[in-house]
Amino acid sequence: MGSKRKYFGTDGIRGRVGEGKITPEFVMRLGWAAGRVLGKGRGGKVLIGKDTRISGYLLESALEAGLVAAGVNIHLLGPMPTPGIAYLTRTLHAQAGIVISASHNPHCDNGIKFFSSEGKKLPDEVECEIERELDKPMTTVESEQLGKAYRVSDAAGRYIEFCKSTIPWTMSFSGLKVVVDCAHGATYHIAPHVFRELGADVVAIGDKPDGLNINAGVGSTHIETLQAAVLEHAADIGVALDGDGDRLIMVDAAGEVLDGDDILYIIACSRLRRGVLEGGVVGTRMTNLGLEQALNEHGIDLVRTDVGDRYILERLQLERWTLGGEPSGHIICLDRTTTGDGIISALQVLAEVVKSGRSLQQLREGYRKFPQITRNVCLGSASAGELLSSRSVQEAVSDVERELEGTGRVLLRASGTEPLIRVTVEGREAERIEALSLRIVDSLQRQLAENHQGHAATA
């Protein structure tokens, strides 16, 4: 059903502000349609939170107008991390939560995504129901049935206390120096407080949003800023979040980067040692083969899904497991919360540092990351499906897989946002996988040329 959706992508609706679907007119209609589906008519309650983009004011007002017109009451949270909005949707017993954010994208983009009353991403069938309402003429309820808007003044404080509750109340980070990079995003007024209140010596960076600087040279997508700050301040640990706070990348005392796979390994091994790991771990097709092998050596199973945290969550629920994530830093601890949460994931790692008395460098010992190379092949107007199914390309992939002999992986996938095919090869030796990846790229480019010549000859 997901492939038939007209407006929703894999994670809500996103685009450049003022273009396409990210306009005041469309977002007002989206609010109205969502209110009719999620608000359950008159008296329903929907939360709205946002990150720090200047366009958040515009889109918040548009959503408010649409929801009120549908007879739904609104509770405005102000700037809040995406996982914080999921949490408050549950605890305030709302019918739905709405997030205005484009995550790690620059300020000129924005988006709308939804949580159910359980604080989880909406199923495809509910998104399709909203789309059907969107295609209807917009109407307004009678004046006495219009919704009202309220401001939730203690939203940040509620979420701070929830984050702290995910580790033992006796836990103290006293003696740890932590640099926290908030990406000038939605965690700027929350993350530093969480770590300080738990006793850490905190150096906050990326904590001065101005509406335009979200993710600009800071945060989990620009980790070099955190690396420099950790070394400058002689910190023990660096924590980098993205603009909406659902991703986490970390830096150790030597300035080395720990991505989502490293973090998954540390949390999984910590829970295994303490006898609280429920089942195995869910990764994605991009999860490093080295992580899979390292977990298997500890007797921990790893299963893979498509790229995207919604697919990780679906598989966790299917397996009845509690831990999953992807290299980009989306880590889901289902025994703590319902969605990826950068702050909560960082707390699990810091708690293990304190409990074990070991550094981040020591905690990730035993995991050897395999070299991984990804190259892009531009499709132009060509069909990704036609290219990937061609005999010559399939033979080239098979030849490379035979050469790797089970010591590496090959992954070809069409980009969901650009006319590209991404070629990923990983294995034990960097030089070897570079050569093997070029072999597959060459086969794709030759097939592209042949297809182009064939189409030109029949034109």
Angle at 345 between CA 257 and CA 250, to 5 degrees: 15
Cα 277 versus chain centre, distance: 22
Handedness of CA 149, 153, 154, 160 (dihedral sign): positive
Average pLDDT over residues 171-179: 97
**What is residue 459's predicted lDDT score, i.e. its pLDDT?**
54
Residues 202, 346, single domain; the answer is: yes
- Reported as a single tens digit per residue, the pLDDT across 62-71 is 999 999 999 9
pLDDT exceeds 80 at position 406: no
List the catalytic residue out of 103, 220, 270, 345.
103
Q: Is residue 319 part of a domain?
A: no
CB atoms within 10 A of CB 147: 23
Total domains present in the chain:
3
First and final C-alpha spacing in the chain = 35
Q: Is 270 a catalytic residue?
A: no
**What is residue 457's predicted lDDT score, i.e. its pLDDT?**
59
**What is residue 2's predicted lDDT score, i.e. its pLDDT?**
40
| 292 or 388: which leads in pLDDT | 292
Residues 35, 141, single domain; the answer is: yes
DSSP 319-359: HT--EEE-TTSBEEETTT-SS--HHHHHHHHHHHHHHH---
Average pLDDT over residues 233-248: 98
Of 89, 123, 153, the residue at which a domain comes to its end is 153
- Strands (E) in 237-379, as ranges, are 237-241, 248-252, 257-258, 281-284, 302-305, 323-325, 331-333, 372-378
| 122 or 213: which leads in pLDDT | 213
Residues 14, 88, single domain; the answer is: yes
Q: Is residue 92 part of a domain?
A: yes
Q: Is residue 288 part of a domain?
A: no
Q: Is residue 294 part of a domain?
A: no
Residues 6, 120, single domain; the answer is: yes
pLDDT exceeds 90 at position 378: no
pLDDT band for 454, please (50, 70, 90 cuts). low
Q: Is residue 87 part of a domain?
A: yes
pLDDT exceeds 60 at position 456: no
The pTM is what? 0.90
**What is residue 280's predicted lDDT score, i.e. its pLDDT?**
97
CA atoms within 13 A on the CB side of 86: 23
pLDDT band for 417, please (50, 70, 90 cuts). low
Q: Is residue 384 part of a domain?
A: yes
pLDDT band for 86, please (50, 70, 90 cuts). very high
Residues 116, 228, single domain; the answer is: no
pLDDT exceeds 80 at position 453: no
Q: Are strands 45-50 and 13-16 parallel, antiparallel or unpaired?
A: unpaired
- Reported as a single tens digit per residue, the pLDDT across 210-232 is 999 999 999 999 999 999 999 99
SS3 content of the chain, % helix, strand, coil (to 5): 40, 20, 40
Residues 184, 84, single domain; the answer is: no
CATH number of the domain that 173 lies in? 3.40.120.10
Residues 352, 398, single domain; the answer is: no
**What is residue 387's predicted lDDT score, i.e. its pLDDT?**
83
pLDDT exceeds 70 at position 1: no
Average pLDDT over residues 236-250: 97
**What is residue 3's predicted lDDT score, i.e. its pLDDT?**
47
| 336 or 448: which leads in pLDDT | 336
Cα 373 versus chain centre, distance: 22
- Reported as a single tens digit per residue, the pLDDT across 10-33 is 788 999 999 999 999 999 999 999
Residues 379, 267, single domain; the answer is: no
- Reported as a single tens digit per residue, the pLDDT across 246-287 is 999 999 999 999 999 999 999 999 999 999 999 999 999 889
CA atoms within 13 A on the CB side of 322: 14
Q: Which residues of 345-370 are buried (b: 16+ CB within 10 A; e: fewer)?
A: bbbbbbbbbbeeeeebeebbeebebb
Average pLDDT over residues 339-351: 97
CB atoms within 10 A of CB 176: 18
Q: Is residue 423 part of a domain?
A: yes
Residues 69, 85, single domain; the answer is: yes
Of 363, 394, 426, the residue at which a domain comes to its end is 363
Contact 112, 68 (CB under 8 A): no
Residues 232, 259, single domain; the answer is: yes
CATH number of the domain that 443 lies in? 3.30.310.50
Residues 428, 349, single domain; the answer is: no
**Closest CA relative to residue 242, chosen from 338, 326, 120:** 326
Of 100, 119, 153, the residue at which a domain comes to its end is 153
Contact 284, 300 (CB under 8 A): no
pLDDT exceeds 60 at position 41: no
CB atoms within 10 A of CB 172: 11
Within 8 A by CB and 6+ apart from 126, the residues are 37, 38, 116
Mean model confidence pLDDT for the chain = 93
Q: Is residue 200 part of a domain?
A: yes
CA distance 433 to 315: 30
For residue 252, what are the domain limits?
159-279+340-363
**What is residue 415's predicted lDDT score, i.e. its pLDDT?**
73
Residues 353, 248, single domain; the answer is: yes
